[in-house]
Amino acid sequence: MLQSSNVAVVTGANRGIGRAFCQVLLASGVQRLYACARSTSSLQPLVESAPDVVVPLRLDLTKPQDIDAVVAACTEVDLVISNAGREGYGDVLTLPDDHVRDLFEVHVHGPLRLIRGLAVGMPGGSRIMLVHSTAAMSLSRGGPLYSASKAASMMLGLGLRESLAPMGLTVTNVYPGFTNTDIIADYDIAKADPVDVARAALDATYAGSTNAYPDLYAQLVHEAMRDTYDAAMDEPGRTGTEIIARYRALSE
């Protein structure tokens, strides 16, 4: 899948799918891995697993100075995985304004600044992955503003794909579904293994896919949106309920 010459940047590398991406890259022979998180101490176990490969970097995507420092530190990069995210549970009418702003900073504005900065130094043939969520395609009933920020992130990926293609860079949008991470740890539903999700997303990216649906729930959402788009736009809550019911039946 990967060549040993790869130099990768992974954001949100300290846990969940981000940590799984790092594990898969290390197992595949990545030469250098810039692992980014808000706290570099949380990256220590990853550093200890491959001290000659992993470079820990502080990155808070709400802080432009952090982003610019990461851009300056990362050299010879040919793979960027924009994965960092935050939860966004709450009603549209009551979720605090600062939380809403953070959602769009972390999912849209920060990644845009980071990718703009890194892309200029990436050689032709390099790859960029934006890790969104099925919530970008199908409304999250518990976090509609989370969905809004992820949908904006999805459109950002489409725009970047068009703009970076002349530079020989490819952009893949990744839509994980229910995955066994801290964010949904208490949610009573079958969850995909983060390593399986990361591996499937990387396989799709290196196969040239523009979109990756790396688990069963993601595939069901894609299928539903493809086949019942009008219904999903008219009654998104009901459509989401129907998809989850089908997923529960198939994953039992």
Q: How many CB atoms lie within 10 A of CB 210?
A: 13
Between the alpha carbon of residue 140 and those of residues 89, 125, 149, 202, 244, the distances in Å are 9, 35, 11, 25, 11
Instruction: Over range 182-207, report the average pLDDT.
Output: 91
Q: Tell me: pLDDT of 117 over 90.
A: yes
What percentage of the chain reaches a pLDDT higher than 70? 98
Instruction: Over range 145-164, report the average pLDDT.
Output: 97
Q: How many CB atoms lie within 10 A of CB 237?
A: 13
Instruction: Over range 41-70, report the average pLDDT.
Output: 98
Q: Where are the domains of the chain?
A: 7-215
Please check whether residue 84 is in contact with residue 106, taking contact to mean a CB–CB distance below 8 angstroms.
yes
Q: Residue 64 is encoded by which pair of tokens?
A: 């432009």
| Helices and strands in the chain, H and E counts | 10, 7
What letters, b where the CB count within 10 A reaches 16 and e where it falls short, cover 193-208? ebbebbbbbbebbbee
pLDDT greater at residue 183 or residue 223: 223
This prediction's pTM: 0.93
Split at pLDDT 50, 70, 90, the class of 231 is confident
Residue 183: what pLDDT?
77
Looking at domain 7-215, which of 3.40.50.720, 3.20.20.70, 3.30.70.260, 3.40.50.300 is its CATH number? 3.40.50.720
CA distance 62 to 110: 6
CA distance 131 to 153: 9
Split at pLDDT 50, 70, 90, the class of 5 is low
